[in-house]
Chains A and B, each alone.
Chain A
Amino acid sequence: MNWDPILFWVMIALWVIMPTFIVIEEVRERRALAKDREA
């Protein structure tokens, strides 16, 4: 069985998880900070 295509997509998934997680976290924290500032 050729595992290369499967590993390729696993690689892409791993590649995408980190930035997605960071972006979501950044947006949430920046929003929360802005909310605090308004309050």
Chain B
Amino acid sequence: MISMIGAAVGAVSSRLIVDIAMYFGAFVIVAMALNFQYGNAGVPNMGCAVQVIAGGFAVSTFTLRLTLWLLQKAGEPIRPYASNYDWVYNNPYNVQTVANGFIQSRPLFGISLLLFSLAISLVLGAAIGWLISLPAIRLRADYLMITLITMADASQIIARNWVPLCGGTLGVYVPNVFAWYPGDRGIITAVLTLAIGLVSFFIFRTMLDSPYGRLMRAIRENEVTVGSVGKNVTGIRRNILVFASAITALTGAIWAFYFSYVIDANYTRALWTYWPWLMLIMGGPGNNAGTFLGCALVVAMRRVIIVYKWFFMKFIFFPMSYFEQILLGTLLIVIMIFRPSGLIPEKLLYIPGVNYKKMVREEVKVDWRAAPKARTGGGRFKLWGRKEEGGG
């Protein structure tokens, strides 16, 4: 009996760990992209949801149709899927029975579909980023924020009402690209998500350490000054939005494969805009450590509250469904009052040989041309290679 309980608890715990890892991986990509946009470049993107949903659409619109077309060509018994009615009502049979059965014995086909989906979501994400930047990028922060938030809402309304996109209110199943894997699909998806998160982290880190990263910070601090020295502020902000949008869209594609299902309700504004903002504000914008800490805290708390709600129910007097929002909302208010710059505030940008305090007092002249070289001298990815090269 005790061993059975132990095994049950162990299974729940490892399942919870996989769940938290998956959510952490997915949200950390979005939070890092948001940190890249808002924390470093000062672009207050309240439209993260539209970027994530682009990835979901890429899977439900392109990958699913491509799969069905290929299976039809291969002579598999695919039911019609051209009309809206057939697209939705024949979808469970076409995907669950035919496509997944086909992928089960052909791992390469599944992996090819996965790679195709990631590639197409990158492209579609970048295109959406460019599209949303067109009317919005010249606006000042508050108006930019409002425009992007309406775009995120509009994208969800379009998804809900335009059936060919992702099946309207019913949603559509998407092929299980890991059907060939005999074990738990959740673990392999979590590994993939965390691996993409790790690669994204290094990409963002490299960009932020580069002179372009310093230019982004300069725009955040004073865009008028940067514009006055000949930099194309609007163009740079657009590039940032397009780049971050492409990376964020990857999350949407992975999210579709995690659930094997795409529906607009999986890409809500609250889930993909407000929660990443909470993570960023809680951890501290402008640095990766803060983003990670905020993401880990929020994801762990949310998942634990959701999974163990029966346990918390004994201690609260209001409906359990409000507990998550109340707790995290309170936390946000407390942090905004007592630590407005987050749990880990942004530090000064460290460039060996540059001492900001002395610079402000004009006691030292800095050779700015040499500074970036000094920064990258030891090899960018070399963990232990950085030497502290004397104080300026």
Contact = CB atoms under 8 A, between A and B. Distances in A.
A7 B350 CA distance: 37
Given A14-B195, A17-B198, A36-B355, A28 B386 contact: yes
Given A15-B24, A26-B289, A37-B357, A8 B18 contact: yes
A35 to B, nearest CB: 6
Given A8-B14, A19-B296, A22-B289, A2 B350 contact: no
B187 A35 contact: no
Contact of A4 (B184, B194, B287, B289): B184
B14 A18 contact: no
B289 A23 contact: yes
Interface in B359-385: 383
B388 interface: yes
Interface in A1-39: 2-4, 7-8, 10-12, 14-15, 17-19, 21-24, 26, 28-33, 35-39
Contacts of B30: none
Contacts of A35: 388, 391
B289 A7 contact: no
Contacts of B289: 22-23, 26
Nearest to A28: B386
Contacts of A2: 183
Nearest to A37: B357
Nearest to B190: A11
Interface residues of B, number: 39
B77 to A, nearest CB: 31
B89 interface: no
B280 to A, nearest CB: 15
A14 B198 contact: yes
B191 A10 contact: yes
Given A4-B187, A10-B191, A33 B198 contact: no
Given A8-B14, A18-B201, A24-B383, A32 B388 contact: yes
A11 B348 contact: no
Interface centre among A4, A18, A19 (most CB of B within 10 A): A18
B352 interface: yes
A2 B374 CA distance: 48
A22 B292 contact: yes
B187 A8 contact: yes
Interface string B41-56: 0000000000000000
Interface of A: 2-4, 7-8, 10-12, 14-15, 17-19, 21-24, 26, 28-33, 35-39
19 contacts: A4-B183, A7-B191, A10-B191, A11-B18, A11-B21, A11-B190, A14-B194, A18-B198, A18-B201, A22-B288, A26-B287, A26-B344, A29-B350, A31-B388, A32-B352, A33-B348, A36-B392, A38-B391, A39-B392
Interface of B: 14, 17-18, 21, 24-25, 28, 181-184, 187-188, 190-191, 194-195, 197-198, 201, 287-289, 292, 296, 344, 347-348, 350, 352, 354-355, 357, 383, 386, 388, 390-392
